[in-house]
Amino acid sequence: MKVFNLGCELQHGFEGWFASEADYDDQLARGFLECPVCSSKQIVRLPSAPRLNFGARSSEPAADDSAQADASSATPTPAVKQASSDVVAGSCDLALQAAWLQMARQVLQSTEDVGQRFAEEARKIHYGEAAERGIRGQATREQTESLMEEGIAVMPLVLPEALKSPLH
Ligand SMILES: [Zn+2]
């Protein structure tokens, strides 16, 4: 399929779709081509302006490559060392690890470390006794479950050791 930019003598521009260049020549010779605006049959082929087809050309950035580059430059993840952790087990994919490390960093940057007082602070915040903010800390499985039962949004999260140390 060929798409030609066509125009009449009145400079009306339009597109013509043809099976081939020969098909265009044939239709032109037979007088099948006419301007859709003024019905002129004085049709000429215009120099084809570059057709910017953003839809077809936009390709996804190579997310995998950049993610893997980040992962390789980052501190090796301690995922393997924490063999007892369900959270990181199996996330061997480098892109996943990079995303995970980035997420963990954001959590660290946007939360206050309340350590062992986590369950207590989470309740205070939930019930309006303490300032609304993001916190992180340690909680037992039982504490976490009871917080969840009270409707308090908590997220069990095993932070990579590599991220914990530089902040202290
Ligand atoms: Zn015309």
Residues with CB under 5 A from ligand 1 (ion): 8, 10, 12, 35, 37-38, 40
Rounded CA-CA distance 142/160 in Å is 22
Gap from CA of 149 to ligand 1 centroid (Å)? 73
pLDDT tens per residue across span 32-91: 999 999 999 999 988 755 544 444 433 444 444 544 445 444 444 444 444 444 454 444
Gap from CA of 25 to ligand 1 centroid (Å)? 19
Rounded CA-CA distance 37/63 in Å is 47
Residue 54 lies in a domain: no
Q: Give the total number of structural domains in the chain.
A: 2
Residue 55 lies in a domain: no
141 pLDDT above the threshold of 90: no
Q: Mutual orientation of helices 94-110 and 63-73 as an angle, nearest 10°?
A: 70
Gap from CA of 1 to ligand 1 centroid (Å)? 24
Predicted TM-score (pTM) of this structure: 0.38
Residues 82 and 153 reside in one and the same domain:
yes
The answer to whether 126 and 148 have CB atoms below 8 angstroms apart is: no
Residues 160 and 85 reside in one and the same domain:
yes
pLDDT bracket for residue 111 (50, 70, 90):
confident
| Tokens, residue 17 | 């779709």
Residues 90 and 160 reside in one and the same domain:
yes
Residues 68 and 119 reside in one and the same domain:
yes
Domain limits for position 129: 63-167
Residue 148 lies in a domain: yes
Gap from CA of 110 to ligand 1 centroid (Å)? 63
